[in-house]
Structure 1
Amino acid sequence: MAISNFVKRIQDVMRNDSGVNGDAQRIEQIVWILFLKIYDAKEEAWELYDDNYTSIIPEGLKWRDWAVDRKDGEALTGDGLLDFVNNTLFPTLKNLEIDETTPMSQVIVRYAFEDANNYQKDGVLLRQVVNIIDEIDFTEYKERHEFGAIYESFLKDLQSAGNAGEFYTPRAVTDFMVKVVKPVLGDKIGDFACGTGGFLTSALNELDKQVGNSLENREIYNKSVYGIEKKALPHMLCVTNMLIHDIDDPNILHGNALEMDYKDMRKMEPFDVILMNPPYGGSEKDSVKSNFPTELRSSETADLFMNVIMYRLKKNGRCAVIIPDGFLFGTDNGKFNIKKKLFSEFNLHTVVRMPHSVFAPYTSIRTNILFFDNTEPTKETWFYRVDMPEGYKNFSKTRPMKLDHFNDALNWWENREEIEVDGFPKAKRYTIDEIIERSYNIDLCGFPHEEEVILEPMDLIQEYQEKRASLNAEIDHVLEQITSMLGGN
């Protein structure tokens, strides 16, 4: 099947259905249908290799039972199809019985449908979409992997689908982080806010090169990655992504990694590699903040995820995490203590400052990549600024960031030296004493002011609030010192 126009064909059908409103709903509609098609192909393979395999999906509800149109006039369509999907298929899959003995390869079916919706109201158009998806042969390796590129276009579309864009990290960024961290077969790789699975698939692409023809290596590959995602749509997108990448038993949980007490996190199996772009700009409720020690509590979601990473990174493990500028310059109580713990217990060896608009149009806030390992306390930290490529004013959907834009950073990584451009440091090394002297304000090697961009109103408000909190904390610190010098009076 020629699948190059796959997305366009489905778009053309869905535009005529009054139930589908906007990109986010279109993607969610495609994905639950796609999930069932791919899962059925996987089950066919599992049945072939295991005579005792029993599906969690009841008879009559498998893709092969209702979705395949055998052109005999018996295929469900129109109101009959809508009634089946809305009143039989969805209620059953949402309430599948699972327990601690249910394998993850089956648990994911219920997870995938817990918060899924059928948006289409026209049963004839729904049948047309199902037929288009059924044309893809996921039992064929070549066609399945060719479809991987098409699937990536779904994920890119999320960037222009309202708030759903927060769950997609540009592939150039995930690939760069993986190239630097260098995961190896046998590493346990985690992402505790995995979104659509971009970091996990970048890591799997790297591991796949190491598998060869070994069945034992393939089994190790299959158990390499772990993810948690709080929201339904990206969770389903991620599980489907794992199946496409030949992870037969996707360990992708539907839940909130922050809703666990830090004492329990310490008891859990740690990770060799953590790759993350935690959500930022959010504010967590008190019940979530109370899962962390008092001195490490923060209202900012990204700060709390830094705590999770530090609790769950294995001794000698490596981490790469994307953090907004507010974490770098913030010196309020929570951020100060989180950074103090990071520098005193981990080796934060590199901070890469990224140019603006990498995540546009979802957010204009500047972001940074922190690279650290659990080997020893930090002695020195290198800062490196990735400038906007020549000829670019902004990144956009039509001109996204590419892996090539990190070439200078990759070359510098292996041959580090301090660099100055037009009087501004582009790459510079700072000792831990210099960082402590700055009260862990690590807003260093930033972008020249003439490159400053106008932020979206809500992003601007957030940045001002973070700067105000940082300044208040610095003022309080100075007042404490003066009071101490005056004998406490």
Structure 2
Amino acid sequence: MASNSFVKKIQDIMRNDAGVNGDAQRIEQMSWMLFLKIYDSREEVWEIEEDDYESILPDKLKWRNWAHSEKGEQVLTGDSLLEFVNNELFKGLKAVEITPEMPIRKQIVKSAFEDANNYMKNGTLLRQVLNVVDEVDFNNSEDRHLFNDIYESILKDIQSAGNAGEFYTPRAVTDFIAEILEPKLGETMADFACGTGGFLTSTLKRLETQKKTVEDVETYNHSVFGIEKKAFPHLLAVTNLFLHEIDDPNILHGNSLERNVRDYKENEKFDIIMMNPPFGGSELAVVQKNFPTELRTSETADLFMSVIMYRLKRDGRVGVILPDGFLFGTGTKTTLKKKLVEEFNLHTIIRLPHSVFAPYTSIHTNILFFDKKKKTKETWFYRLDMPEGYKNFSKTKPMKSEHFNPVRDWWENREEIMEGNFSKAKKYTPKELAELDYNFDQCGFPQEEEEILEPMELINQYNTERKELNEKIDTVLAEIMQMLEENE
């Protein structure tokens, strides 16, 4: 399988189909096919390993029985294929009956197809795409490992394919956070808005080298947990974990915010939490009631911060990406930051360079590292500047792992750094942060930062700025009038 031609071949075929419009639909179309192909490959393994294995899929809906083709074999194509896919395959997959007692790997089939669609209208072109996907042998370790890289490129393409980009965090970022938190086999890791599963797979890559025994393999299989609200990224995340040989991908299709945070029991908490929570969103009042009064807000990212706090085990550790608006925001944000300092060990905040998430968003972001081992003694801020030779990150020039090297060099031997009139690295005590009214906008970039504020906060800020500007104008006008009067 040629890695550089797989995706291009499929995209070139789909571009000739009148039913598929744009990269986002092409990727979604490709994704459900990959899921079924990979699921069928895993089922072949489970059938060998488990004498009593029973598939949740009717035989006629299994990939091997409708999509797979041997040379010279008659297969569904044209209108017959379209008829089967639209009226039997999708309807059958969405109607699969599941029970709470079923293993996750069976339940996941139904949830993966709840909102999936077939966009292609030309059955002949659909057959051509199926044939390309069918060429990959996911039970061949060489093919599977090679396809991991291809799948990562597919996920990266999502970043520039419309709104789907919100579900992908650059791999350099997820890998760096996993590197800092150092997950160990036997620990549990969670992402409560997991998107396509980037943090989950970055964790698995670090755990994979720790597998030594059969027991280790079983532990590895149950190391990560995810929840994703939207169907398409949920499908991508499940497929991602299958590719990493997780037979029971514990990824729920749902909203992490729809449960009262005070109801979580100890066995529902985690050793490690890594997240890039959606920010700038707004939650309904009924969702906000799942949180203590002082933590209620419509801002999605703030609510996820509360979930993280409630679902972190004692001695657990966290790496979370948040926008600049959280750092200098007031109201609930101040309450959350005070809680971080007083009840957790908020030890490091990394200010990320702009355009890390381009082209999806230009919002400035930060990584907050904290744990539940002790109370905060000092909080370090470190500004990671744009690498030399870069004006912006982009699809063709994305952020790379080596761009974090300045942080790595500084991390173990921390010292305060001044560059011109600006602090690049500086530590603050809890008392100093309190005196700043928990304004975490420290060691920032010299240029103006983009803000994300709730509507009322934004109105108040504009009113304050207008008042200050009016006062300045009035002062200048008064001085001019005085000068005129003196010259008369």
* TM-score, normalised by the number of residues in structure 1: 0.92
Unaligned runs of 5+ in 2: 466-488
Mapping 1:232-243, distance limit 5 Å: 232-243=231-242
Distance 1:468 1:9, change over 3 A: same
Match in the other structure for 1:372: 370
Query: Among residues 349, 354, 357, which one is paired with 1:356 in the alignment?
Result: 354
In structure 2, distance between residues paired with 1:199 and 1:284: 24
Partner of 1:123: 123
State the alpha-carbon separation in 2 of the partners of residues 64 and 301 from structure 1: 42
| Cα drift, residue 467 of structure 1 | 5.4
How many residues of Structure 1 are paired with residues of Structure 2 in the alignment?
465
Report how far residue 472 of structure 1 moved. Answer: 8.5
Provide, for residues 393-446 of structure 1, a one-character-per-residue CA deviation record: whole Å limited to 9, x for no partner.
100001111110100101111110101111210000000001111111111000
C-alpha distance in structure 1 between counterparts of 2:386 and 2:455, whole Å: 24
Instruction: Answer whether contact 2:323 2:452 (CA < 8 A) is retained.
Output: no
Once residues 167 and 47 of structure 1 are traced to their aligned partners in structure 2, the CA distance between those partners, rounded to angstroms, is 33
**Does the CA-based 8 Å contact 1:330-1:469 persist in structure 2?**
no
The AA in structure 2 aligned to 1:23 is: D
What secondary structure sits across from 2:201 in the alignment? Answer: helix
Equivalent residue number for residue 227 of structure 2: 228
Contact kept, 8 Å, 1:331 with 1:473, in 2: the verdict is: no
Moved over 6 A (4+): 470-474
The question of whether the paired residues in 1 share the 8 Å contact of 2:329 and 2:453 is answered with: no
Equivalent in the alignment of 1:479: none
Q: 1:429: which partner in 2?
A: 427
Work out the CA distance in 2 between the residues paired with 1:465 and 1:196: 33
1:40 aligns with 2:40: yes
Tell me how far 1:265 sits from its aligned partner.
Answer: 2.5
Partner AA of 1:56 in structure 2: I
d(CA) in 2 for partners of 1:470 and 1:322? 24
2:383 equivalent among 357, 365, 385? 385
Measure the CA separation in 1 of the matches of 2:52 and 2:73: 33
| Aligned position for 2:409 | 411
Q: Hey, what does 2:286 align to over in structure 1? A: 287
1:337 CA displacement:
1.4
Q: Distance in 2 between matches of 1:359 and 1:465?
A: 27
Q: After superposition, give the CA deviation of every residue in 1:328-348 in whole Å (9 maximum; x if it has no partner).
A: 00112x112122222111110
Q: Tell me which residue corresponds to 1:277.
A: 276
Contact 1:389 1:405 in 2 (8 A): yes
Provide the rounded CA distance (Å) in 2 between the counterparts of 1:115 and 1:19. 17
3-state SS of paired residue (1:133) = helix
In the alignment, structure 1 segments of 5+ residues that lack a partner are: 475-489
Q: Hey, what's the Cα distance between the residues in 2 that align with 1:34 and 1:329? A: 43
Which residue of 2 is the match for residue 446 of structure 1?
444
Residue equivalent to 2:320: 321
Quick one: structure 1 residues 338 and 419, their matched pair in 2 at CA, closer, same or farther if it must change by over 3 Å? same
Q: Hey, what does 1:343 align to over in structure 2?
A: 341
CA distance in 1, matches of 2:462, 2:443: 20
1:298 aligns with 2:297: yes
Q: Identity percentage over the alignment?
A: 64
Q: Output the CA distance in 1 between the equivalents of 2:424 and 2:15.
A: 48
Deviations 1:315-359 (A, max 9, x none): 000000000001000112x11212222211111000000010000
1:188 corresponds to which letter in structure 2?
Answer: T
**In the TM superposition, what is the alpha-carbon distance from 1:24 to its structure 2 partner?**
1.0
Match of 2:252 in 1: 253
Structure number with bigger Rg: 2
Contact 2:280 2:452 in 1 (8 A): no
Superposition CA RMSD, Å = 1.7
* d(CA) in 2 for partners of 1:262, 1:470: 31
Aligned match of 1:91: 91
Q: Distance in 2 between matches of 1:298 and 1:108?
A: 32
User: What TM-score do the two structures reach when normalised by structure 2?
Assistant: 0.92
1:485 aligns to what?
A: none
Take 1:401 and 1:302, find their aligned partners in 2: how far apart are those partners? Answer: 23
Aligned to 1:484: none
